[in-house]
């Protein structure tokens, strides 16, 4: 998608270096950063220079390519793969991508291993783009249907950033929106700010602006009253891990939006590629929920009057804060899942019909 009119992807490989857009600097600065070692890739995932489930999976895949360039000894690769998987706990795409890479390179000769790993990392990215594009085409049908009934602007609420910046291109939750906009269906997006890191305000609003899609940032607590007032036609969110039962783990606050949507008969959709499905865990209480530093709550970063990025403390110094990064929306609150293979009920039957037939 575009930034200042130029097409970008979020990650690419050039001259033995992995290039990423440093998302900790957005929206105030657009900086392309080089990752040269597997440690750089792990740090980029941990510090959220790259974030979003599909993109951290792709970064881990390229991280293994960097590890091979450094030292293709099996012990080093095994340790690197473990460190990559442990760099963030909740999004399943990380483990999915590392397992896929390790399977591909196991038993491969040292003179071929780099080529094979590099092709697989590129394939993971190409596949994600295709999957996100298909999610967009499938989700477009829902937006079209609402538009045909309403004959007016379709108001869509989204949470966090499940946009192209969280994937390689298109995004998951945003892909139907981009496709609708391309088809000239009028859309307007309510963008949840998404405290504490503000991925909605800093990333979703930024990328929608760059594609000229009307959007309005709202405080995270505003969605409820907008739904009561009939100002939300549908919600679409992404996910970091969706269980085979249809339960959806996503950015903290998603669950409250789903409850509000249910109470107001607003359809609540979750968009996901199959790489985000966890077929193993049966009970959502077993999903590891990341707890991040309380400093993400107590401090905020922004531009000062001279245009310099500055971080300031907003809480009393003596106050304690707690920062859980994800929550789980039970399947019963999800209207449907929008996947690369089609739209299905959020249930084991729905997912199995699409993926395991
Ligand atoms: O903590 P983050 O910013 O990595 O969390 C990302 C989200 O919760 C996204 O909504 C999710 O990964 C889906 S991305 C297509």
pLDDT string in tens for the chain (357-residue length): 999 999 999 999 999 999 999 999 999 999 999 999 999 999 999 999 999 999 999 999 999 999 999 999 999 999 999 999 999 999 999 999 999 999 999 999 999 999 999 999 999 999 999 999 999 999 999 999 999 999 999 999 999 999 999 999 999 999 999 999 999 999 999 999 999 999 999 999 999 999 999 999 999 999 999 999 999 999 999 999 999 999 999 999 999 999 999 999 999 999 999 999 999 999 999 999 999 999 999 999 999 999 999 999 999 999 999 999 999 999 999 999 999 999 999 999 999 999 986
* Pair 302, 296: CB distance under 8 Å: no
Q: Which atom of ligand 1 is found nearest the CA of 56?
A: 4
Q: For residue 160, give the ligand 1 atom closest to its CA.
A: 10
What does the pLDDT read at residue 12? 98
pLDDT value of residue 185:
98
Is there a single domain that holds both residue 244 and residue 119?
Answer: no
pLDDT of residue 356: 84
**Domain CATH for 88:** 1.20.120.420
Q: At what angle do helices 53-70 and 93-105 cross, to 10 degrees?
A: 30
pLDDT recorded at residue 348:
97
pTM of this prediction?
A: 0.97
Decide if 347 contacts 246 (C-beta within 8 A): yes
Contacts of 160 (CB under 8 A, 6+ apart): 192, 194, 199, 200, 204, 237, 238, 250, 251, 253, 254
Can you give the pLDDT at residue 175?
98
**Domain harbouring 145, CATH code:** 3.40.50.10470
Alpha-carbon distance 296 to 303, whole Å? 17
Q: Which of 60, 164, 166, 196 to mutate to test the pocket of ligand 1 (most atoms within 8 A of CB)?
A: 166
The structure tokens listed for 217 are: 């940032």
Alpha-carbon separation of residue 248 from 41, 118, 122, 270, 337 (angstroms): 27, 31, 28, 8, 10
The position carrying tokens 């510090």 is 47
Domain of 10, in residue numbers: 2-127
Judged by DSSP in three states, 144 sits in helix
Annotation marks residue 240 as catalytic = yes
Q: Which atom of ligand 1 is nearest to the CA of 163?
A: 15
* Phi, psi (degrees; rounded to nearest 5) at 273: -85, 160
Q: Of 79, 107, 127, which marks where a domain is finished?
A: 127
Residues 73 and 103 in one domain: yes
Query: What total number of domains does the chain contain?
Result: 2
Pocket of ligand 1 (CB under 6 A): 51-54, 91, 160, 162, 166-167, 172, 199, 238-240, 250-251, 325
- Let me know whether 28 and 121 are in one domain: yes
Task: Specify whether 169 is located in the same domain as 101.
Answer: no
């Amino acid at each position: 998608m575009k930034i200042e009119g130029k097409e970008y992807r979020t990650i690419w490989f050039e001259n033995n270096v992995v290039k990423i857009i440093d998302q900790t600097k957005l929206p105030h600065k657009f900086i392309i950063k080089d990752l040269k070692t597997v440690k750089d890739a792990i740090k980029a995932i941990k510090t959220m220079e790259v974030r979003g489930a599909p993109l951290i999976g792709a970064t881990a895949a390229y991280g293994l390519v960097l590890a091979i360039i450094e030292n293709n000894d099996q012990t080093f690769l095994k340790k690197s793969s473990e460190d990559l998987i442990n760099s963030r706990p909740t999004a399943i795409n990380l483990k999915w991508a590392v397992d896929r890479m390790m399977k591909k390179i196991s038993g491969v000769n040292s003179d071929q291993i780099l080529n094979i790993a590099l092709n697989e990392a590129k394939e993971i990215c190409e596949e994600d783009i295709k999957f996100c594009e298909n999610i967009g085409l499938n989700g477009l049908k829902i937006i079209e249907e609402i538009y045909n009934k309403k004959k007016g602007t379709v108001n869509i609420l989204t949470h966090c950033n499940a946009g192209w910046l969280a994937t390689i291109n298109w995004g998951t939750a945003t892909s139907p929106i981009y496709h609708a906009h391309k088809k000239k269906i009028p859309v307007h997006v309510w963008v949840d700010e998404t405290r504490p890191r503000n991925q909605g305000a800093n990333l979703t609003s930024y990328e929608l602006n760059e594609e000229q899609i009307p959007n309005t940032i709202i405080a995270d607590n505003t969605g409820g009253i907008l739904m009561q007032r009939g100002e939300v036609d549908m919600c679409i969110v992404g996910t970091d891990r969706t269980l085979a039962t249809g339960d959806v783990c996503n950015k903290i606050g998603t669950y409250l939006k789903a409850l509000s949507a249910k109470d107001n008969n607003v359809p609540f959709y979750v968009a996901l590629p199959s790489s985000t499905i966890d077929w193993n865990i049966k009970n959502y209480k077993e999903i590891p929920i990341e707890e991040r530093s309380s400093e993400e709550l107590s401090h905020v970063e922004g531009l000062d009057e001279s245009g310099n990025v500055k971080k300031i403390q907003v809480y009393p110094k003596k106050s304690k804060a707690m920062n859980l990064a994800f929550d789980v929306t039970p399947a019963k609150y999800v209207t449907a899942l929008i996947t690369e293979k089609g739209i299905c009920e959020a249930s084991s039957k729905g997912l199995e019909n699409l993926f395991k037939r």
